A and B are shown apart, each in its own frame.
Chain A
Amino acid sequence: MAEPFAVKDCALISIGTGERAQNLRELRDRILTTQPGSIYHHFWGGLLRPSFDDPEYQNDFAAWAGRGLHDTRLAERLSLIDPSEFQDLEALRRELVEVVEERLEETEMVPWAKSDHQFYFVRSQIVVFDTSLRVKDVDGWAALLPRFPVSSIFYHFIDARRRTESRNDDFSEWLLGFGDEHTQLIYRLWAIDPYFSTLSELKSELASILGSYLQARQGQ
């Protein structure tokens, strides 16, 4: 029997790192040296900070390539980078540099932005705290899920992949503690692509998977 699941919540605040880039070469150089937290912020931070649900570009680097540099080809390639595919932030950083360098080699002129459209590097500070909500089992999880703040979904479903050795989300880690009992549910959680959804959409998707899983169990 697994321990009760302790629901944590988190709040994020952005901090400017003071680094900036006005052209693509400067962007490459800053990406090489900026702290990992900044790479993380520019891929995932949009979920927790004020932002517009951008249908065109999936991360800040892609958005700047499109709107600052006006380099649509680069913007599309950067948009395709899915951070959840990479083992850690250093691997993500290498991929980012790879895509930027490939573009630098292709172009005769280094793409540049106007001085008031520079790329500013930002990192986050995350405060994590206990909500005092506890979940004993899968039924309890389904009942309590509507009360989970969306930022707790971020902490347990997205942030967990960076924080835990297994690179799993916290929910499936917890379910693994029940032995083979919830293997089907775990597989369904692993199949969720968290990158192209808002946190509210993720929460709804989790609720829907849980609901259909419990319904199927009752029918057995």
Chain B
Amino acid sequence: MKNRLEDYAKIVGEDVIDQIRQLAQLLEGAKVIHVNSTKEGGGVAEILQWLIPLKRQLGLDVQWRVIRGEESFYECTKSFHNALQGNRVPIPESLLRAYEETNRKNAEEMRDELESADFVFIHDPQPAPFLQFCPNRKGKWIWRCHIDVSHPFRPVWKYLRGFVQGYDASIWSLSEFAQPLPHPAYLITPSIDPLSEKNMEISQVEIADARERFHLDPFRPIVVQVSRFDRFKDPVGAIQACRLAKKFTPFQLVLAGGGATDDPEGARMHQEVADAAEGDPDIHVLLLPSDAHRTINALQRIADIVLQKSTREGFGLTVTEALWKGKPVIGGDTGGIRLQVINHHTGFLVSTPEGAANRIRYLLRHRGKLEEMGLKARQLVLENFLLTRHLREYLTLMVGITHGSQERIELF
């Protein structure tokens, strides 16, 4: 059962919902298509899972399509992901050909639908070449980049730029990610759904069940990092931080994550993390299915502190989720984490395992500060990072882009 827009009024206020409805009236009946590479797992799929039903409730005709390919396609796009985040990984020509061929085949199947749409949102590099296979498109095409591209491996970005420069606009999570392109670079930060299974209020019984299921000691503090098993999330750094801090104060570390269907590296990384944690009964490495939303919800609520020790991060929705649950976050000083972890207010920004260890010690020792940060954390998300703001910005962009890139659009 999908949530209705009016259900959010209790959280954000009636005026916020009214405003969204008024903006949507300007777009009533518009045909919109979103294309990404997975229906489940990872932040992009999660955003589309709530965004699309809400846009439909507002009277827009919205479809969600997924590009599908063989293993070589996913190998290639995972390499893109790593390269755009700064890893110097040259990509073999054979994989690039597989990428282009997969795009050609998928675009061909969807061409009629894509060419007749009023707005097409292409998410991330996976389906980026779709544009060139739709020469008779009538609507506005927007490339939405969810990745931290602030320091890309240049040859790979140069290759991808050829596919994205023809779009009418692009959307980036932060201004520092936006690469120079010959079209407007809109800035929209992601958001979370406060009524989703991952973020809704859950009972103390359910929380206690999760604690018991994963054999967590209720009498010692718990530090949790929730994220895919991905090198850039630095789960091994989180284990190092835990080992350093545990010398001074007893606590347990939970590293919980699932795999996305478009991430072939996940299993390898999970093994690496399991090896690093081996022999330490206070480090719990949990590989969860991609639909374990309530379990993640419970684990984040069990946590005294949430850790997100990423070295690169597009935005960090798991940080948002934790802040929403009133948890201070110790996060890597990078990307979108900086926008959410306001140093000394909603958590701490750190650059090394040593820094994370120090902050864990500090917060476990100063419970009052921990509580105070938690309150500020929830307020920050309430005012800035809930889906209603995100939805409003999407609608504003759609109205804006149909009127060119002029500074002021008056519709009355």
A residues contacting B by CB (< 8 A) are 6, 8-9, 11-16, 18, 37, 50-52, 116, 118, 120, 122-131, 147-151
Q: A16-B172, A122-B187 are in contact. List 16 more A-B contacts (CB 8 A).
A: A11-B23, A13-B187, A13-B397, A14-B188, A50-B389, A120-B178, A122-B175, A125-B408, A126-B408, A127-B400, A128-B408, A128-B411, A128-B412, A129-B23, A148-B15, A149-B16
Chain A residues within 8 Å of B188, by CB:
13-14
Roughly how many angstroms separate A120 CA and B396 CA in the complex, as a whole number? 22
Can you identify 24 A-B contacts, CB atoms within 8 angstroms?
A11-B19, A11-B23, A13-B187, A13-B188, A15-B187, A16-B185, A16-B187, A18-B185, A37-B407, A50-B189, A50-B385, A52-B342, A52-B380, A116-B150, A116-B176, A125-B396, A125-B400, A126-B409, A127-B396, A128-B409, A128-B410, A128-B411, A148-B15, A149-B16
Q: 1/0 per position for B184-198, CB-CB distance to A under 8 A? A: 111111000000000
Contact A13 B176 (CB under 8 A): no
Contact A125 B407 (CB under 8 A): yes
Contact B186 A15 (CB under 8 A): yes
Roughly how many angstroms separate A203 CA and B69 CA in the complex, as a whole number? 53
Nearest chain B residue, comparing its CB with the CB of A129:
B411
- B286, CB-defined interface residue at 8 Å: no
DSSP class of B's interface residues: helix, strand, loop or mixed?
Answer: mixed
Q: How large is the interface on B (under 10, 10 to 19, 20 to 34, 35 or more residues)?
A: 35 or more
Chain B residues within 8 Å of A129, by CB:
22-23, 26, 411-412
Pick from B178, B383, B399: contact of A18, CB below 8 A. Answer: B178
Chain B nearest CB: distance from A70 CB in Å? Answer: 13
Roughly how many angstroms separate A18 CA and B339 CA in the complex, as a whole number? 19
B residues contacting A by CB (< 8 A) are 15-16, 18-19, 22-23, 26, 150-151, 172, 175-176, 178, 180, 184-189, 334, 339, 342, 345-346, 380, 383-385, 389, 392-393, 395-397, 399-400, 405-412
DSSP class of A's interface residues: helix, strand, loop or mixed?
Answer: strand
Contact B339 A50 (CB under 8 A): yes
Roughly how many angstroms separate A51 CA and B407 CA in the complex, as a whole number? 21
Roughly how many angstroms separate A37 CA and B407 CA in the complex, as a whole number? 7
Chain B residues within 8 Å of A50, by CB:
189, 339, 383-385, 389
Chain B residues within 8 Å of A14, by CB:
175, 186-188
Rank and list the top 9 A-B pairs by shortest CB-CB distance, nearest first. Answer: A50-B384, A120-B175, A130-B412, A14-B187, A16-B178, A11-B396, A16-B185, A149-B15, A13-B396
Chain B nearest CB: distance from A88 CB in Å? Answer: 15
Q: Given the interface contacts A120-B176, A129-B22, does A52 sit within 8 Å of B15 by beta carbon?
A: no
Roughly how many angstroms separate A130 CA and B396 CA in the complex, as a whole number? 14
Chain B residues within 8 Å of A131, by CB:
18, 22
Chain B nearest CB: distance from A32 CB in Å? Answer: 19
Roughly how many angstroms separate A6 CA and B412 CA in the complex, as a whole number? 10
Roughly how many angstroms separate A129 CA and B405 CA in the complex, as a whole number? 17
Chain A residues within 8 Å of B389, by CB:
50
Chain A residues within 8 Å of B19, by CB:
9, 11, 149, 151
